[in-house]
Amino acid sequence: MDSIFEIRDIIEEFVSRYETLIKAAIRFFLALLALSVVNSRLGYMERLDSTTVVVAVSLLCALLPPGMIVFFSSLFVILHCYALSLEAAIVVLAVFLLMFLLYFRFTPQDTMAVLLTPLSFVFGIPQVMPVIYGLKGSPISALSVGFGAAAYFTVDYISEAEDKIRGMKDATTVERFRTILDGVIKNNTMMAYIGAFVITVIIVSIIRRLYFPHAWTVAIAVGILVDMTALIVLAGKFDAEINTGRLILGSIIAAVIAFVYKLFTFSVDYAKTERVQFEDDGYYYYVKAVPKIRSKIKRKRSREPDDE
């Protein structure tokens, strides 16, 4: 266990030393990943479906606040949908606008859930999102993850129904619009996932706040089990299709990721390392303040010279 803490300390030191660069690199790769996934799933507008555009926009995202990755990804989705059909673009734009107007305007810190939840679906580990948001957020974060799942299934439907939408050339605009809106809203699998995610976030968030030993570990374990059970029950209720094998595998990977997340945030929050500047009458101060918590091994090592 101590070796894990040692590795964590090395990573923590490295991250705090190159924090600005690493954060920019993470924003760049996240944008690159999100835009590449959007292009591979939709990719109807040729101008956007090019490596140059994706890399250029990702570089821009590296310099901008993280919320801009969500903005550009949404813009890519809407433009691709527009290239497929105007009605699809209207439906997707309406879904995104409603999410922003009704919820994310009030909790901008949770906006990344709209990006990360769909990405977790793409990688086959959607179970990780409700557990992580339950650990880091509050029960209200259930809505963020729920909206993230809705965003994924909206894009997924457009991608799956491409041939159907293209085949409706003779249909009227209203008929096309109705078909797409029906497909987006009346999605039983989406309902099952949203229901399971909401229940999981609330339960994990409540357990994590309780005062008893290993509350975080228990919260993760219970969260994974609740998520699996709720998903199977709701899938049966909504008559939705769930691949049980993938669900179990995804849950195991999600549990591992959640424990790694716990290791970095519960024991030591490297993000709490601060670099501040201020001045008084005599000096300019450039201070780097690092949290005092360190692994047992490190504390032991730092004591060794004194002990000898």
Q: Does 20 bind another protein (CB under 8 A)?
A: no
Torsion sign, CA atoms 180, 183, 186, 192: negative
Q: Which C-beta is closer to another protein: that of 160 or that of 175?
A: 175
Least distance between another protein and beta carbon 63 (Å): 19
Which span (59-67, 73-81, 120-128, 277-285) binds another protein, by CB under 8 A? 277-285
Residue that the structure tokens 């969260």 belong to: 223
Residue that the structure tokens 């959007």 belong to: 38
Tell me how far apart the alpha carbons of residues 106 and 206 are, in angstroms, rounded to a whole number: 22
Residue that the structure tokens 């994990």 belong to: 204
Neighbours of 158 (CB within 10 A): 25
Site string for another protein, 215-234 (x = CB under 8 A): --------------------
Residue 286, phi then psi, degrees to nearest 5: -120, 95
Q: How far out from the chain centre does Cα 65 lie?
A: 16
Give the SS3 label for residue 44. coil
Q: Please identify which residue in 10, 86, 102, 252 interacts with another protein, judged by CB under 8 A.
A: 102
The DSSP bridge partners found for residue 286 are 277
Q: Does 94 bind another protein (CB under 8 A)?
A: yes
Which span (28-36, 59-67, 156-164, 177-185) binds another protein, by CB under 8 A? 177-185
Least distance between another protein and beta carbon 243 (Å): 32
Which span (3-11, 30-38, 96-104, 259-267) binds another protein, by CB under 8 A? 96-104
Provide the binding-site residues for another protein, judged by CB under 8 A.
94, 97-98, 101-102, 105-106, 174, 177-178, 181, 274, 276-278, 280, 282-283, 285, 287, 289
